[in-house]
A and B are shown apart, each in its own frame.
Chain A
Amino acid sequence: MIEAACERLIPDDELGAGALTAGVPNYLDKQLGGAWGAGERLYRSGPWQFGTPSQGYQLPYTPAELFRACVRAISQQLEATKMSFHEICTDAQDAYLKSLESGGVDLDGVPSIAFLDILLRMTVEGFFADPAYGDHKDMAAWRLIGFPGAYADYYEAIDRHGVKFQREPLSLAEDSKGRIQMRSDIPAHL
């Protein structure tokens, strides 16, 4: 379900790789299985009640719990059609994601907009995050927008005006031999 949903949120197109090709499901897997998924930097005590939109996320679930509950609820809902999310046609997938977005669906007690919100956020995160966090194959999203990555300085370039800046994207986890050392457990504190 996650792979198919990522593919619909950022599809492959003529501009380049989309979320599935760039490996976003791997990012989601690593993040949800790690500290972030377990609620790192998420305040998880009461009082619990729905707030105003400006009060942000107010559900008692960690990201991992939210994904687990919602994916289960979605597959139960789609049981009636005898198809899984990844088996229905892309138009139907889009229509289903839109129904989640409009908030009309109850996913086992979770308003569907809350799930779509975190799914979309984390898909975008994984698409643009440094490869250190998960996958981001070939730094495809960075190439797409011309983002050079984690260069320490631009000393050589600063006085050269009107020249297109062209360097291969650089991951912050790249060693001197050009290998990327994945560290999906980078803590969200210093």
Chain B
Amino acid sequence: MAQRLKEVDVVVIGVGMVGSIVAKELAAAGYKVLGLLERGQSRDTVPEFQSPGIHDELRFDVRKALMQDNTREPVTFRNQRAHTALPVRRWESFPPGTGLGGSMVHWNGQTYRFQANDFQLATRTKERYGKNAPTAKHPPHYRLGTEPICRRKVELSSRCQLSVILPSLIFRMSVAMKSTDCPLPEVSPNVPVK
């Protein structure tokens, strides 16, 4: 039987690394937040993620052992409406995750090299959209930030002590983000639960 829970302002579905930050920020902004909906099996550091088994690249990266089982929960896929949607027979381009742990787990221990243009969001967006690129007229959270650092600098830094460089980089990026004065997206309080 359905159980009616107490009303809250916001329900965060999936409280992994991203969901928990959203929940924390919303709670700090004064909203009553509930975040407990998870899917899949319970997983923990031990035994599921312990070494050396978790270092199995073939099992986890190639064969997507941490991801949803597409033979039980199949999805179909097409790029354009003119195409016929067909079943995804093996995960290739977008493997949806499952299980407790979220993207903190699904990253598979792999950190790909940054692309040079990961650090040029503003420049590239202006190049691509020209006069349609966001400007001061647009809502603040669409505005393009500055580009405080380039890939070369990051890679030079990574040869120095990462533990020293990373906090300073994160600090600088958070300053850059704050400087756009970006407010939290608006959430209407007391969304009725039907």
Q: A interface vs B, CB < 8 Å?
A: 36, 41-45, 47, 49, 51-52, 54-58, 125, 129-130, 132-133, 149-150, 152-153, 159, 161-162, 170, 172, 186-190
Contacts and interface: CB of A to CB of B under 8 A. Distances in A.
Given A41-B69, A42-B89, A44-B89, 8 more contacts: A41-B71, A45-B74, A56-B88, A132-B56, A133-B58, A150-B52, A172-B56, A190-B43
Contacts of B59: 186-188
Given A44-B71, A150-B55, A54 B79 contact: yes
A127 B78 CA distance: 33
Contacts of B87: 43, 45, 47
Given A49-B84, A125-B58, A150-B55, A190 B89 contact: no
7 contacts: A36-B63, A41-B69, A44-B71, A51-B83, A52-B79, A56-B89, A187-B65
What does DSSP make chain B's interface, helix, strand, loop or mixed? loop
Interface of B: 41, 43, 48, 51-53, 55-59, 62-66, 69-71, 74, 77-79, 83-84, 86-90, 92-93, 99, 159-161
Contact of A42 (B43, B84, B90): B90
Given A43-B88, A52-B83, A190-B43, A130 B65 contact: no
Nearest to B91: A41
Nearest to A171: B52
Given A52-B83, A152-B51, A161-B159, A43 B70 contact: yes
Contacts of B41: 190
B52 A55 contact: no
A55 B58 contact: no
Determine chain A's interface SS by DSSP, over half rule: loop
A42 B38 CA distance: 25
A123 B87 CA distance: 26
A130 B41 CA distance: 26
Nearest to A53: B79
Contacts of B51: 150, 152-153
B65 A172 contact: no
A22 to B, nearest CB: 15
Nearest to A126: B58
The list of the 3 closest CB pairs from A to B, nearest first, reads: A152-B51, A188-B63, A150-B55
B57 to A, nearest CB: 8
